[in-house]
Amino acid sequence: MKLAIVGATGLVGQEVLKVLEERQFQFDELYLVASAKSVGHTIKFKGKEYTIKSMEEVCKLAPDVAIFSAGGGTSLEWAPRFAEMGTVVIDNSSAWRMDPTKKLVVPEINGNLLMAEDRIIANPNCSTIQMVVALAPLHAAYKLKRIVVSTYQSVTGTGKDAVQQMMDERAGKPAQKVYPHPIDMNALPHIDVFQDNGYTKEEMKMVNETRKILGDDSIGVTSTTVRVPTMGGHSEAVNAEFHKDFDLQEVRNLLSKAPGVVVQDEPKQNVYPMPLFAQGKDEVFVGRIRRDESQPNTLNLWIVADNLRKGAATNAVQIAEHLLKSVLVKS
């Protein structure tokens, strides 16, 4: 089993290595890839020093699985080249997500769609993953009609430089700006680039990816995504309208039994999900579960998850685990 991590020095790449170690992912050889300026440097993993290699070198080595966390441009150029070598690429960028020939996978929801011939598999957007993990069991029971979601997304979703901007601003130091405005003590209703329809690319990702993962284009989805000066994870206020009515206790039971979901919903004891406590965890936390009293068959939820973990690294590793257990081993 030859495993490659592309983008190994980035926030997500580093998190992938942590997740691999924690989950005791088995491999015989590990290849770490990063930008040209990092080639030749070393990264310590599980007590061993690994030298960072170039894309060209690792592609020729034909790893069995490659987890890409290096941006859309890199994925568009290199994922097909790796695939031609027989590698299964699990891609964290947005490059392949809406390609109709590629699977967009959250293992708890649609891992069963994966087949041995899949060579490029898309990992969904972080904010989409946590929302669909919570909504999928409810969709199965009551059938989603419409979702209104507002997000409160951590600076870690932008990367190391964004974290540095926030920390420099907090310390009163001159900050190298990643965002068009200060982020500390602020909230930016602007994640990714604005589209012609007035929505950002991030907002449209949530619309399109949700429908694809749940396999239902009839679901209405509207999104407002906001960057906030937090670490630890993304938070979402979700208003979900269903075709069928629901019982609140049944909703809690369904969520409690759903794989990867933890219900934290005791508001009188001040128990509800928060990014501060989601950090470093793989679960999706759900709370503030209540009926929308303004219209029928509608539910309010507060959903929090570590965007670097379940929103990226953990989901990618789970896809690899599923492939090795249920797909590649059979082929």
CB contact at 8 A, 298 and 269: no
For the record, the structure tokens of 65 come out as 């699985």
Treating both helix axes as pointing N-terminal to C-terminal, what angle do 126-142 and 201-214 enclose, rounded to 10 degrees? 40
Q: Which residues face 188 on adjacent strands? A: 227
Question: Which candidate, 149, 58, 75, places its Cα nearest to that of 119?
Answer: 75
Furthest-apart CA pair in the chain: how many Å?
60
Is 181 annotated as catalytic? no
Is 126 annotated as catalytic? yes
Dump the DSSP string for 249-312: HHHHHHHHHSTTEEE--BGGGTB---HHHHTT--SEEEEEEEE-TTSTTEEEEEEEE-TTIIII
Q: Which residues face 89 on adjacent strands? A: 66, 120
Check 59, 139, 234, 322 and give the catalytic one: 234
Helices (H) and strands (E) in the chain, counts: 10, 14
Residues 189, 264: Cα–Cα separation, whole Å: 27
∠ at Cα 208 (203, 209), nearest 5°? Answer: 95
Residues 108, 315: Cα–Cα separation, whole Å: 9
Check 59, 126, 139, 322 and give the catalytic one: 126
The residues assigned a catalytic role are 126, 234
